[in-house]
């Protein structure tokens, strides 16, 4: 801005010459300057006011917006911001079908030591040994007096033990918070539940992971803290499981068997009501030192799903079922049988041969190898294979147990004629007891495919049809007569109509070809009530021998597995809410 002088010389000279007062010019100029100045400041003030106004507007809008957000937001969102709970334990419970606790978590403490801050390590070791006699005193002393700065002493402490350790008064002994898995029912259902172990231990926490059974299968579900740790409900029934385990355990001792297994299966839903494998273990203390050479005898081994055995005459039902389903025979059709014969080039013999002709029903009641092999030859290799495949006997069962993964039945590499013959009566195809129980459930439930499950099912659709309802009905009647007058007469239970089939299979020789005569697996697969089947019960003993039978050492299933199954049914049928049949005479329609 060019500053105009207050008294410009040219103007002054001009005014002077005209005789005016030159001060007027100065006054005029001062006035002019003042006007310019006030204009300028006014404009500036207006700009500033405008700016401040905008600022106020923005802040008002912001405040209004925030207030609207606050007013429209949920109150609960404020509450949830309050500290999330960290007391609730990390792993969900496992319940049985009636809501009884099978596994739960309890807070406990682990004991660790910091040798650097220990005052009297020798005394501490001496007193610790008194509390925990299983610890190694020598090793502990070298650890405590050595260079280590940190070491674990004990995984889990009971409250009493913690108090006792506290009373030692050693500052170098410290506690880390831990969760402990408790299986209140001890050894019952131990194989199904499996067990847990700690992963990534640190002083402040440790991850618990499932190491076997449903604990391992459902590890993600159980350790998921969303949904407040919803419990996992199994299909097992604790009271039935306990009853079966007690009866089976007692009879296993009487028969001096190496092992035993039992499965109770709902024939419609495929729910596993009980699953027992003996010998068993206590899941609260899974560390079992097993010295034997045969892994099958390890208590941790689940015979019901992991063990594959040739289950003998119980397979005969599959051949008969296919023959009936194809319409080649009916239950009354008579078949020629011989004590010894050749079928499809394979020698077959019947040890308890009585009469030259047997009806199809009697082939099963008398458990005739020759009769079954004749039927197998009649239906042919392809039909036999398709039947076994339809029953799920060529694939792992779909049960949700980690042990069952990849347990595929062992079938011959090449299915030759002799395979057809021997498999028809139970040799040459090894499967797990669960496979067998599921196949029977499919055959007698009206012919619908059953998929076994360990989880409680509220509503499950019937599976795909495998055999016709008529065949299934015929099979039920035939299997009923096996119990009424065949190899399983000891399986009769007053009030509950039981049907089933026995199987006594010689075990393969160890390290040699052929079969041992005095080592058998004896099995009884039964179902009840016959008119409207609800449950399949499988009982199997590994190398039993019973002294009360016809022979000095009776091994056949009719004398070992059958009476035990009868005892089990007597005991569990009322527990399963089944009334004796005198009360429920009319046939109940299957399906729900």
Which residues of this chain interact with another protein, rule CB under 8 A? 78-79, 82-83, 85, 87-89, 100-101, 104-107, 182, 184-186, 188, 238-239, 242-243, 246, 494-496, 570-571, 574-575, 579-580, 582-583
- Least separation in angstroms between CB 282 and another protein: 11
CB of 461 or CB of 583, closer to another protein: 583
Collapsed DSSP state (helix, strand, coil) of residue 525: strand
Pairing between β-strand 94-95 and β-strand 232-233 as defined by DSSP bridges: parallel
> d(Cα 382, Cα 372) in Å, to the nearest integer?
16
Using only C-alpha atoms, the chain has a radius of gyration, in whole angstroms, of: 42
- Least separation in angstroms between CB 168 and another protein: 26
- Least separation in angstroms between CB 102 and another protein: 8
Closest C-alpha to 256, from 541, 504, 544, 506: 544
Contact 325, 471 (CB under 8 A): yes
Sequence-distant (≥ 6) Cβ neighbours of residue 398 within 8 angstroms: 451, 452, 453
CB of 277 or CB of 365, closer to another protein: 277
Torsion of CA 285, 286, 291, 297, to 10 degrees: 120
CB of 29 or CB of 104, closer to another protein: 104
- Least separation in angstroms between CB 179 and another protein: 11
CB of 82 or CB of 291, closer to another protein: 82
> d(Cα 467, Cα 388) in Å, to the nearest integer?
12
Closest C-alpha to 261, from 290, 293, 292, 302: 302
CB of 356 or CB of 574, closer to another protein: 574
CB of 243 or CB of 429, closer to another protein: 243
- Least separation in angstroms between CB 67 and another protein: 11
CB of 103 or CB of 140, closer to another protein: 103
> d(Cα 172, Cα 187) in Å, to the nearest integer?
37
CB of 440 or CB of 496, closer to another protein: 496
- Least separation in angstroms between CB 240 and another protein: 10
Neighbours of 300 (CB within 10 A): 21
Cα 547 to the center of its chain, rounded Å: 39
- Least separation in angstroms between CB 152 and another protein: 25
> d(Cα 321, Cα 259) in Å, to the nearest integer?
30
Closest C-alpha to 241, from 573, 578, 572: 572
* H or E element that contains 71: helix 22-72
CB of 402 or CB of 493, closer to another protein: 493
- Least separation in angstroms between CB 79 and another protein: 6
- Least separation in angstroms between CB 245 and another protein: 8
Token pair for 225? 């803290």
CB of 455 or CB of 575, closer to another protein: 575
- Least separation in angstroms between CB 105 and another protein: 7
> d(Cα 233, Cα 223) in Å, to the nearest integer?
15
> d(Cα 81, Cα 415) in Å, to the nearest integer?
67
CB of 477 or CB of 579, closer to another protein: 579
Pairing between β-strand 535-542 and β-strand 515-528 as defined by DSSP bridges: antiparallel
Token pair for 161? 């033990």
> Sign of the C-alpha dihedral, residues 554, 558, 561, 566?
negative
- Least separation in angstroms between CB 26 and another protein: 43
> d(Cα 576, Cα 308) in Å, to the nearest integer?
29
């Amino acid at each position: 801005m060019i500053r105009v002088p207050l008294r410009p010389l040219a103007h002054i000279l001009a005014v002077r010459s005209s005789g005016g007062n030159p001060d007027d010019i100065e006054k005029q100029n001062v006035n002019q300057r003042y006007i310019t100045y006030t204009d300028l400041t006014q404009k500036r003030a207006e700009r500033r006011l405008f700016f401040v106004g905008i600022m106020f507007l923005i802040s008002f809008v912001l405040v209004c917006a925030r207030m609207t957000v606050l007013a429209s937001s949920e109150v609960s969102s404020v509450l949830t911001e309050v500290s999330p709970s960290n007391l609730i334990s990390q792993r969900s419970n496992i319940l049985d079908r009636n809501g009884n606790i099978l596994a739960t978590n309890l807070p406990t403490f682990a004991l660790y030591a910091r040798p650097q801050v220990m005052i009297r390590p020798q005394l501490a070791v001496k007193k610790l040994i008194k509390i925990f006699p299983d610890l190694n005193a020598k090793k502990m002393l070298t650890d405590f007096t050595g260079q280590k700065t940190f070491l674990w002493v004990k995984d889990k402490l009971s409250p009493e033990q913690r108090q006792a350790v506290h009373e030692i008064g050693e500052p170098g002994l410290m506690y880390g918070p831990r969760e402990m898995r408790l299986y209140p029912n001890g050894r019952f259902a131990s194989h199904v539940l499996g067990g847990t172990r700690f992963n990534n231990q640190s002083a402040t926490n440790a991850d618990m992971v499932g190491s076997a059974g449903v604990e391992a299968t459902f590890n993600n579900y159980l350790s998921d803290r969303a949904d407040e740790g919803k419990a996992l409900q199994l299909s097992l029934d604790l009271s039935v499981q306990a009853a079966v385990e007690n009866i089976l355990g007692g009879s296993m001792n009487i028969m001096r068997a190496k092992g035993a297994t039992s499965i109770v299966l709902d024939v419609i839903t495929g729910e596993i009501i009980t699953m027992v494998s003996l010998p068993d273990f206590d899941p609260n203390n899974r560390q079992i030192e097993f010295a034997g050479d045969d892994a099958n005898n390890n208590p941790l081994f689940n015979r019901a799903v992991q063990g594959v055995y040739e289950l003998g005459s119980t397979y005969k039902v599959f051949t008969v079922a296919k023959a009936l389903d194809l319409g080649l025979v009916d239950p009354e059709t008579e078949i020629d049988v011989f004590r010894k014969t050749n079928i499809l080039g394979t020698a077959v013999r019947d040890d308890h041969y009585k009469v030259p002709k047997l009806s199809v029903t009697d082939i099963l009641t008398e458990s005739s190898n020759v009769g079954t092999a004749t039927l197998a030859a009649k239906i042919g290799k392809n039909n036999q294979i398709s039947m076994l495949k339809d029953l799920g006997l060529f694939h792992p069962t779909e049960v949700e147990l980690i042990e069952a993964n990849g347990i595929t039945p062992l079938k011959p590499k090449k299915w030759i004629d002799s395979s057809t013959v021997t498999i028809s009566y139970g040799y040459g195809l090894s499967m797990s007891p669960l496979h067998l129980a599921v196949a029977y459930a499919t055959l007698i439930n009206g012919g619908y495919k059953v998929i076994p499950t360990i989880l409680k099912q509220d509503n499950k659709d019937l599976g795909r049809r495998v055999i016709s309802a008529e065949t299934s009905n015929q099979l039920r009647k035939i299997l009923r007569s096996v119990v009424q007058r065949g190899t399983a007469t000891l399986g009769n239970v007053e009030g509950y109509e039981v049907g089933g089939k026995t199987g006594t299979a010689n075990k393969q020789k160890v390290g040699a070809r052929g079969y041992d005569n005095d080592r058998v697996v004896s099995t009884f697969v039964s179902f009840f009530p016959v008119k409207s089947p609800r449950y399949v019960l499988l009982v199997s003993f590994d190398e039993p021998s019973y002294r009360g039978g016809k022979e000095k050492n009776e091994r056949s299933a009719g004398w070992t597995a059958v009476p035990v199954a009868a005892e089990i049914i007597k005991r569990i049928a009322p527990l399963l809410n089944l009334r004796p049949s005198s009360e429920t005479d009319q046939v109940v329609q299957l399906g729900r």
